[in-house]
């Protein structure tokens, strides 16, 4: 297998399903999402109702997208195109956050107005949407697109604050105006999960396997995982790239069985992961440790995989849906998702990150003053080095563009996601691991 320097995707997205880009419908949709009735009684710690205009301040039109009464923000996702609805959940998370903020008075006495843009996996379209946002919106929140490199230079040049879910390319990660709720750099990867596997399942690390779809973004994601695992002692006896869309995983599973694989990692779409698990079930064989991408943390995966999913592991850095009753931030998110987006798809990590991106933006706005410029908000974002969205995420360093080294381990038991480690609800292991910097992968660069 050849090793290449390629664009990256920090969370092993559903890019296995993406083969081509195509022309998309244009324009944005504008929505003012009010509080939707009633007061919010589920405010996360650290956020309180906005009392309106700060004392002694007169609200002005201080920057593009800001008026004395409104703040226009944009959000860009891949919604239409060859994989319809790819990041719809990310947009849903932004809508929920906007409704929540408006329910407590908006920001600095201004109502939030959301402009939604659909890049549709099309680089040209993403560039056009970025240019439109530079003109019409004060900031971007919850951006989630596999072609975010296409607008990186435009966004940096207009200095629009871009508070993304998770940059998917080195160009976006390197842009000086981009900050993320779940920051990630192409040459860095947390190693805590691998150290935990080594300590708890030592026999598997000499018989590891990994597969990824033969798509540039998923290859680099897979390589980062593999190199990080090797840095703590893993030995990979099997590695392979599959076609972007693979219907039959039986030959791959048979090869892994013959190679004596005991640890297996897949870093891409949950649909393929379900088919891999079903192929293992069909052969009545499976590795001792199955490492699944965070994209499988959604109800649709459980529905698709069925009983074959039982026993897999997922390393996560987000609060769990099943623990919402003891996590006010998660409970607030789920409440407002239901209010703002009736009939929404099951929530997943992308909707969580979008909501968290909104909370990060709100925090920066509070620091920047009543009549902020874009530069002031970017400066405020760069100063935030300990962010958890009030307990919804493991602590990250968005200002330093550093991912969290914290993790929790989730498994599937009786067809449900359950906490495995640490055993105490709403906790992460923040001491076992650190961020590993891989010398084999170049750092992020806006020039690619």
CA distances from 94 to 105, 179, 202, 233, 353 (A): 17, 16, 42, 40, 9
The pLDDT value given to residue 41:
34
Chain centroid offset of residue 236 CA: 27
40 pLDDT higher than 50: no
The pLDDT value given to residue 284:
97
- Rg for the chain (alpha carbons), in Å? 21
What global pTM score does this model have?
0.89
In tens, the pLDDT along 279-313 reads 999 999 999 999 998 999 999 999 999 999 999 99
The pLDDT value given to residue 22:
32
Mean pLDDT of 197-223: 91
Mean pLDDT of 410-415: 97
User: Angle at Cα 388 formed by Cα 290 and Cα 45, nearest 5°?
Assistant: 130
Domains 33-182+326-382 and 188-316+405-437 share a fold: yes
The pLDDT value given to residue 296:
95
For residues 293 and 35, which has the higher predicted lDDT (pLDDT)?
293
The pLDDT value given to residue 36:
41
Which tokens belong to 61?
């039109």
The pLDDT value given to residue 42:
38
For residues 78 and 11, which has the higher predicted lDDT (pLDDT)?
78
Q: Which of 365, 381, 379, 384 minimizes the C-alpha distance to 59?
A: 365
In tens, the pLDDT along 118-156 reads 999 999 999 999 999 999 999 999 999 989 999 999 999
Out of 56-60, 64-68, 210-214, 373-377, pick the least confident: 56-60
Q: Say how far apart CA 85 and CA 374 lie, in whole Å.
A: 31
The pLDDT value given to residue 9:
38
Which tokens belong to 158?
């207009």
CA distances from 304 to 17, 296, 347 (A): 16, 10, 16
The pLDDT value given to residue 421:
98
Mean pLDDT of 19-31: 42
Q: Which residues contact 392 (CB under 8 A, 6 or more apart)?
A: 44, 318, 319, 327, 329, 330, 333, 352, 355, 356, 359
Residues above pLDDT 70, as percent of the chain: 88
87 pLDDT higher than 50: yes
The rounded mean pLDDT for the chain is 89
In tens, the pLDDT along 323-343 reads 999 999 999 999 999 999 999
Residues above pLDDT 90, as percent of the chain: 77
The pLDDT value given to residue 28:
56
Topology adopted by domain 33-182+326-382 = Rossmann fold (3.40.50)
221 pLDDT higher than 50: yes
What CATH architecture is 188-316+405-437? 3-Layer(aba) Sandwich (3.40)
11 pLDDT higher than 50: no
39 pLDDT higher than 70: no
User: Domain segments of the chain: what residues?
Assistant: 33-182+326-382, 188-316+405-437
Mean pLDDT of 236-244: 94
222 pLDDT higher than 70: yes
């Amino acid at each position: 297998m050849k090793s290449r320097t390629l664009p990256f995707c920090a969370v092993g997205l559903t890019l296995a399903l993406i083969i081509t880009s195509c022309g998309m419908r244009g324009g944005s949709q504008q929505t003012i999402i009010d509080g939707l009735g009633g007061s919010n009684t589920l405010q996360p710690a650290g956020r309180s109702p906005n009392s309106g205009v700060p004392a002694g301040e007169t609200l002005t039109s201080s920057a593009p997208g800001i008026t004395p009464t409104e703040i226009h923000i944009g959000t860009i996702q891949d919604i239409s195109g060859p994989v319809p609805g790819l990041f719809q959940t990310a947009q849903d998370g932004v809508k929920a956050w906007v409704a929540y903020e408006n329910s407590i008075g908006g920001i600095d006495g201004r109502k939030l107005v959301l402009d939604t843009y659909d890049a549709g996996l099309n680089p040209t379209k993403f560039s056009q949407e970025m240019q439109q946002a530079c003109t019409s919106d004060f900031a971007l929140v919850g951006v989630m697109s596999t072609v975010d490199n296409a607008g990186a230079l435009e966004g940096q040049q207009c200095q629009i604050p871009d508070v993304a879910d998770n940059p998917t390319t080195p160009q976006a990660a390197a842009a000086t105006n981009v900050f993320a709720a779940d920051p990630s750099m192409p040459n860095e990867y947390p190693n805590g999960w691998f150290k935990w596997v080594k300590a708890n399942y030592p026999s598997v690390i000499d018989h590891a396997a990994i597969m990824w779809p033969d798509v540039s973004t998923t290859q680099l994601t897979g390589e980062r995982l593999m190199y990080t695992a090797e840095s703590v002692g893993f030995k990979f006896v099997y590695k392979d790239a599959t076609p972007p869309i693979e219907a039959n995983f039986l030959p791959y599973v048979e090869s892994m069985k013959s190679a004596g694989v005991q640890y297996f990692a897949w870093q891409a779409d949950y649909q393929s992961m379900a088919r891999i698990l079903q192929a293992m079930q069909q052969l009545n064989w499976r590795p001792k440790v199955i490492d699944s991408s965070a994209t499988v943390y959604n109800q649709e995966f459980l529905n698709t995989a069925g009983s074959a999913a039982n026993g897999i592991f997922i390393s996560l850095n987000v609060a769990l849906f099943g623990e919402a009753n003891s996590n006010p931030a998660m409970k607030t998110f789920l409440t407002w998702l239901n209010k703002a987006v009736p009939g929404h798809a099951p929530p997943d990590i992308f909707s969580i990150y979008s909501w968290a991106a909104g909370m990060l933006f709100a925090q920066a706005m509070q620091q920047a003053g009543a009549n902020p410029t874009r530069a002031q908000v970017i400066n405020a974002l760069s100063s935030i080095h300990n962010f958890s969205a009030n307990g919804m995420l493991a602590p990250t360093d968005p200002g330093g563009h550093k991912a969290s080294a914290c993790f929790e381990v989730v498994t599937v038991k009786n067809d449900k996601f359950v906490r495995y480690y640490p055993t105490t609800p709403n906790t992460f292991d923040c001491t076992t691991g650190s961020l590993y910097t891989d010398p084999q992968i170049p750092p992020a660069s806006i020039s690619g």
